[in-house]
Amino acid sequence: MPKDFLTVADWSADALRALLARAAELKDLSKRGERPPTLRGRTLAMYFEKPSLRTHVTFEAGMTQLGGHAILLRPEQVGIGTRETAGDVARNLSRWVDGLVARTFSHEMLEELAREGSIAVINGLTDRLHPCQAMADLLTVSERQDLDRAVLAYVGDGNNVANSLLLAAGVLGFELRVATPRSHRPDAAVYARAEELARSSGARLLWSEDPREAVRGASFVYTDVWASMGQEAEADERRKIFAGYQINSDLLREAPDAWILHCLPAHRGEEISDEALDGPRSIVFDQAENRLHAQKAILERLLAP
C-alpha cells in the first residue's frame, strides 16, 4: 500500500474499491449516530496555499469524528520555500504528527513533501490533480448507479478535477467522456497515463471538442469552474473561450436523465446555469457531503495505528 494519497493512479482498483466501500460504511454508521474513534490520539496537519471551504472543513471534521485532531497551517506561518525548504518542513512535521494534507499550487512541491517526510501525505488539490474530490465523486456516482455501468461526461476546462477523473476511470474501468476546447485539454501526460491504465481496466475514455457528443446519453454530467484558483487574471478571456461549454437545460436535452455533478465552488451563470445547479437532477450537495465520508476512509487507511 502506498504511504501517501497523492494520485489515484498510485492505488490499485481493489484498494480504491475498498476505500469506497469503507466510505459508504462510515457514512451509514454516521447516519445512525455512530462514529468509531479509529484515529484516537492521531494528529493531522493541514497546509493550504489556496482558499478552501469543503476540503478544509471535511478533513478537520473528519479527524474530529474519528477521534483525532487536526491543525491548520497557513503558508504565511510556515513559509515553505521562504522561511525553510519543503523537505525541512516535512522532516519536522514527521516528528510530531501522523499525517499531512496539503493544498499546493505546485504538484512537485506536494511530491517533495511526501518524499522527504515519513508521514502520510494527502493531496488536498494541486494545480494538476484533485484525487480526494474524485473519490467523493465516485462515492456519489455509486450511490446512484453501479460504477461499471456509469457513463460520466465532464464538460469544461481540462483541469485538476478532469485530470483526476481520467486517472480514476483508468484505474477503475468506467466510461468517461471529456469535452474541452482544444486549447484547454486535460494534461497530456495525465491523459496518456489514463489511457495506459485503461488498457488493463477496460475503461472507455473519449476526448471531444463537442460538449453535445460527450453528454449524449450520459448518466452523469460533471463540470467545474472555467478559471481555477490561481487563474483569476485569465477569467475574462476564459469566459469567451468556454462560452459554448455551459451545463444548462439546452445541453441537458442530450441527456435528460443524467445526474448533475459539480465539485464546487460554482460560478453560477458561467460553467453552469442556476436551473441545472438547483434542479431536481443536481446531486452536488451529496457530492460535497461525500467529501467527508470518502476522506474519513482515506484518513483511516493511512493514519490508523
Select the binding partner of residue 53 from ligand CP, ligand NVA, none (C-beta < 5 to 8 A, by kind): ligand CP
By CB under 6 A, which span of 70-78, 94-102, 156-164, 196-204 interacts with ligand NVA?
156-164
First to last CA, the chain: 14
Residue 132 bears catalytic tag: no
Phi, psi of 204, deg, nearest 5: -100, 115
Closer to ligand CP by Cβ: residue 94 or 164: 164
Of the candidates 54, 291, 293, 295, the residue annotated as catalytic is 291
Residue 130 bears catalytic tag: yes
CB of 122: closest distance to ligand CP in angstroms? Answer: 13
Q: Tell me: does residue 159 bind ligand NVA (CB under 6 A).
A: yes
Residue 286 bears catalytic tag: no
> 183, 197, 243, 252: which is closest to 222 by C-alpha?
252
- Sign of the dihedral through C-alpha 20, 22, 25, 30: negative
User: SS3 for 282?
Assistant: strand
> 216, 295, 262, 297: which is closest to 46 by C-alpha?
295
Q: Tell me: does residue 293 bind ligand CP (CB under 6 A).
A: no
d(CA 14, CA 5): 15
Residues 242-281 that bind ligand NVA (CB under 6 A): 263
Query: DSSP letter string over 158-208?
Result: -SHHHHHHHHHHHHH--EEEEE--GGGPPPHHHHHHHHHHHHHH---EEEE
In this chain, which of 140, 160, 164, 180 binds ligand NVA, going by CB under 6 A?
A: 160
User: What is the DSSP secondary structure assignment for residue 80, as one 8-state letter?
Assistant: B
Q: Tell me: does residue 284 bind ligand NVA (CB under 6 A).
A: no
Of the candidates 133, 246, 287, 295, the residue annotated as catalytic is 133
Q: Tell me: does residue 224 bind ligand NVA (CB under 6 A).
A: yes
By CB under 6 A, which span of 185-193, 212-220, 223-231, 252-260 interacts with ligand NVA?
223-231
Select the binding partner of residue 46 from ligand CP, ligand NVA, none (C-beta < 5 to 8 A, by kind): none
Residue whose entry in the numeric block shows the C-alpha cell 449516530: 33
Residue 281 bears catalytic tag: no
Residues labelled catalytic: 103, 130, 133, 224, 263, 291
